[in-house]
Structure 1
Amino acid sequence: MTGADEQWGAALRLLWGPPAKPARGPKRGLTLEGIAGAGVVLADAEGLAGVSMQGVAGQLAVTKMALYRYVPGKAELIALMVEAAMPDASVLDGRPAEEGWRERLGAWARELLAGFRAHPWLLEATVGARVMGPGEVGWMERALAALDGCGLTGAESIDAVVLLSGHVRGIAEQERAMGGGAGGVSGEGPDAQLTTVLGEVMRVHGERYPALGAALASAAEAGGQDQALDFGLERILDGLGQLVAERAGGRGRG
């Protein structure tokens, strides 16, 4: 047995199959989908810290020992929950065939952000070394497929996807920290909330930070709209576009 089998074997079997042999005990009446769904309900209500084997068992009206016959531990439970909560990447498959890589990656980023907004605990559950299920791997597949034919190396394409997902995660983390959801507690996005908080500081100490004061005043004149997602996304795609153009030029010279 390899180290990976020992560490992640149970999660791999649960997410990808084949299923493990049934554990001894009463006739099995639960499903992995139902167990994952109960965990998602708990996490949506209480956050990831509020999820436990006991809590999920209570949601399903079974004993914790009965739950262990299906899922060996909390790590595997969370893996199932992530797979259940991730938005379906196939929503991107129906986009117009004539769309370029830039439009497809932009749509990919916005759909991914919608998933994090729907289930903010996913931000905490999808970090570190772990097993990813078919749904989550499908998101990486769609992004890499959008870059197919752009002349990037495999490593560059993967790095581009990591860069995009990092930007999306950063926006989602800010929204979560400022109250959750797309508009936080006050209905404002993170840009507007930050401006509000800084405005209080600048009223007293503004003379110490003239550049910041000027930037905030300019943002206020423009309406103070939240543009962090789109601004960062466009800059990332601009940079990728330059690299794609360089690769295309190199091919032409050859």
Structure 2
Amino acid sequence: MPRPRSLTQDQLAAAALAVIDREGLPGLSMRAVAVELGISTMALYRYVQDRGELEALVVERVLSAVDSTPPDPAAGPWRARVTLLVDRLRDTVGAHPAVLPLTFGHRHRSPAVLRWGESVLGVLTEAGLGPEERIIALRALLAYVIGAIQQEHLGALSGAGTAAIADLPADAFPYLTEAARGARALTPDHEFHAGLTLLLTGLARG
């Protein structure tokens, strides 16, 4: 008879997520997760086949925390309700930004993200968008959220990227250097919501 399993998938996911949060995505390995769990690497293979399966468990653990409940109409017009749903996704994924690259390959399997998408499409339907407009809008919103989180957490650590652009020769890059100097005063929340407002305003005009 096979040996009974003593670890749950949630425990495996929690251990792998702890490794990623502490060491970054490059630190994720079967050995590192086994050490986190206090078992041998070979014992870990009783539960998962490979790192890819671990990655899927981590993504589902993170994304399962997304609140996909359709906002009450009392929350405001459709753009306010879409913003609320987008903020929920941003806050959840932004709490573990190193996991973000893994979501590209696994998010379509996440029941929580599917329910989130269903809620967004429901609000967009109420707003009067047609079927084609709705799917384009949903994909644009997902692309914006993912890109914005990457920019905030992974793309410009300590403002190094912005500072480097601001130091470029102004005569060769007048617009980039001016924009970079202005960006120094932006907070991540202001920048995110200003960009989201532009996107939603464009949808309203479509």
> Considering the TM-score relative to the shorter chain, is it more than 0.5?
yes
Select the structure that is richer in helix.
2
Q: Which moved more, 1:166-175 or 1:26-35?
A: 166-175
Structure 1 residue 81 displacement after superposition: 0.6
Alignment of 1:178-189 (within 5 A): 178-179=156-157, 185=158
Task: Check if 1:206 corresponds to 2:206.
Answer: no
- Structure 1 pair 59/213, CA: closer, same or farther in 2 (3 Å)? closer
- Give the alignment's Cα RMSD to 1 decimal: 2.7
Distance 1:147 1:171 in 2: 21
TM-score by length of 2: 0.82
Q: Distance in 2 between matches of 1:28 and 1:215?
A: 56
Q: Find out whether 1:78 has 2:55 as its counterpart.
A: yes
User: Distance between the aligned counterparts of 2:50 and 2:166, measured in 1?
Assistant: 47
Unaligned runs of 5+ in 2: none
1:43 is displaced (CA, Å) by 0.9
Matches within 5 A, 1:114-153: 114-128=91-105, 132-153=109-130
Judging changes above 3 Å, is the alpha-carbon distance between structure 1 residues 154 and 77 closer, same or farther for their aligned structure 2 residues? farther
Q: Distance in 1 between matches of 2:32 and 2:163?
A: 39
Of 185, 190, 193, 1:230 maps to: 193
1:133-166, Cα deviation, whole Å (9 max, x unpaired): 2223232222222213233333321221111121
Greater Rg over alpha carbons, structure: 1
* Structure 1 residues 64 and 155: alpha-carbon distance in aligned structure 2, compared to 1, 3 A threshold: farther
Change (3 A) 1:224 1:87: farther
How many pairs does the alignment contain?
A: 202
TM-score normalized with structure 1 length: 0.68
CA–CA distance in 1 between the matches of 2:32 and 2:180?
46
User: Does 2:164 correspond to 1:197?
Assistant: yes
Q: Deviations over 1:152-209 (max 9, x none)?
A: 3333212211111211222211221222xxxxx3xxxx6xx655333322xxx22334
How far off its partner does 1:213 sit? 5.5
CA displacement 1:38-92 (0-9 Å, x = unmatched) = 01101111222211222212211223333223222221211111111126233x5
Counterpart residue number, 2:73: 97
Task: Name which of 155, 159, 177 aligns with 1:177.
Answer: 155
Distance 1:62 1:97, change over 3 A: same
Once the two structures are superposed, residues 72-129 of structure 1 have per-residue CA deviations (whole angstroms, 9 ceiling, x without a partner) of: 2221211111111126233x53744322221111122222222232111222101147
Q: State the AA in 2 paired with 1:178.
A: A
Q: Tell me the CA shift for residue 216 of structure 1.
A: 5.8
Give the whole-Å Cα distance in 2 for the aligned partners of 1:51 and 1:238: 40
How many percent identity over aligned positions?
Answer: 32
